[in-house]
Amino acid sequence: MKMVLLLLILPSCLCAPTFVVNVTQSSYQAEEKHNITLEWTFSTKADRSWRDLFILCSLLAPLREAVLYRVHEGLELSESQDGQFAGRVQSDKDVLREGRIRLHVSRLRTEDSGLYVCNVRTDSGSGSGRCRLNVRRRYHLIGSSEPIVAAPGDDVILPCRVDPDMDAVEKTVEWSKPDLEVDPSDRQKYVFLYRSQRENRHMMMAAYIERTSLSSEGLKHGDVSLRIRNVTLKDSGRFRCLIPTLRTDAEVRLVVDPDFVSSTASETPDLIHPEPQNETSVSGRRSRHHIFITVVILLFFICLSAAFACNMKKFPACDPESGDGSTAWPPCSKAERYEEEISAGSTLLQPPVSSEIQTNNLDAMRPHG
């Protein structure tokens, strides 16, 4: 009886489907803007028809499924590809007949991170394989392409910041002078060393202790600029800023010139985010503001002078009515009185008549009796 059961089970095992989809790597790590190749394998036969091949590879995003690659009846359907991957995915067609799916994804983005699933269906069966991709944001340090010039005794800031912005409080920041020959056995080889969220003076050069610092507030936004107080001629040269975990560095050149006329603190530009166009804009606004104030003051004095002249015309130069000096103005002469009467619109436009003529006129007007 046992022999009969064994003979019945054995054929069923031999006929069980053997189609399998595997991933060559279950997890991938990459940096932003880099390229990567995702690969799956599936069972295949030499005489398999391409029309029986169906492939759908997708990124399972939190709220949607983004199609990465699709084959329908042996034909690639690029129009099914999600816009997120448009122009960035190339398949290796030569190995597809061998049962290998190789997808080259270029110019990786952080949103490409996630779980990738490839579903394969043939006349032999179907299956799926999964792998996870983690795309790290690519950071780099930005220094200054122009040298920082200062006079001896000045305080300077050597600009260096992480782009894009990030919290660098827990990062290690190393400032050094690559041109300075330092004994490899000497532990004190750094201009400034920030490690474990504090300054590490045990590995700093004695000449820079107490003179160098970072901004604790700036570190929160990726600003790792170095401040050097009371610079000397020996400070001239190249300075290198390095964040080891980001595998990126930047250089800044400092020139200490005895003939350089240093600016006041209020006039020092922002070395971290230089924006000369903004400074020009501010200067232009100030100039226009000064011109506007000058014009307003000038117009005010012109109006004041005109008003004063108008008021002066209302007061006579002399008193045409009184000649005894009882008023504040001196008595007018005959010519001045005549001019005053004309300017006042008087009807007495004829010269004054003598007293003799006036007496004769009065006699003529009296009745004769």
CA distance linking residue 236 with residue 251, whole number of Å: 13
pLDDT at residue 19, rounded to an integer = 81
**Mean pLDDT, to the nearest integer, of 230-243?**
95
Phi, psi values for residue 353, rounded to 5° = -90, 140
Could you tell me if residue 197 is left (phi over 0), alpha (psi between -120 and 50 degrees) or otherwise beta? left
Q: Are 30 and 13 in contact (CB under 8 A)?
A: no
* pTM for the predicted model, two decimal places: 0.52
pLDDT at residue 286, rounded to an integer = 47
Most confident of 257-266, 275-284, 324-333: 257-266
- 45 pLDDT band (50/70/90 cuts)? confident
pLDDT at residue 265, rounded to an integer = 38
Q: With a cut of 60, say whether residue 310 has pLDDT above it.
A: yes
| C-beta atoms surrounding 55 within 10 Å | 22
15-29, 205-219, 221-235, 340-354, range with the lowest pLDDT:
340-354
CATH topology of domain 140-274: Immunoglobulin-like (2.60.40)
pLDDT at residue 41, rounded to an integer = 92
Q: With a cut of 90, say whether residue 305 has pLDDT above it.
A: no
- Using a 10 angstrom Cβ sphere, with 0-12 exposed, 13-18 middle and 19 or more buried, the burial of residue 7 is exposed
Query: Of 136, 160, 141, 161, which is closest to residue 222 (Cα–Cα)?
Result: 161
- 208 pLDDT band (50/70/90 cuts)? very high
Helix (H) or strand (E) holding 365: helix 355-365
Residues of the chain with CATH 2.60.40.10: 17-136, 140-274
CATH superfamily membership of 17-136:
Immunoglobulins (2.60.40.10)
pLDDT tens-digit profile of 129-156?
A: 999 999 988 889 999 999 999 999 999 9
Query: Of 37, 27, 56, which is closest to residue 127 (Cα–Cα)?
Result: 56
Rounded (10°) CA dihedral 297, 299, 301, 305: 180
Most confident of 53-57, 261-265, 324-328: 53-57
| C-beta atoms surrounding 226 within 10 Å | 23
Going 262 to 264 to 267 to 271, the CA torsion angle's sign is: positive
pLDDT at residue 270, rounded to an integer = 40
pLDDT tens-digit profile of 151-199?
A: 999 999 999 999 989 999 999 999 999 988 776 666 778 999 999 999 9
Where do we find the tokens 């391409």? 50
Length of the chain: 369
Q: With a cut of 90, say whether residue 369 has pLDDT above it.
A: no
Q: With a cut of 60, say whether residue 14 has pLDDT above it.
A: no
- 16 pLDDT band (50/70/90 cuts)? very low
pLDDT tens-digit profile of 67-91?
A: 999 999 888 998 999 999 999 999 9
Q: What is the mean pLDDT of the chain?
A: 78
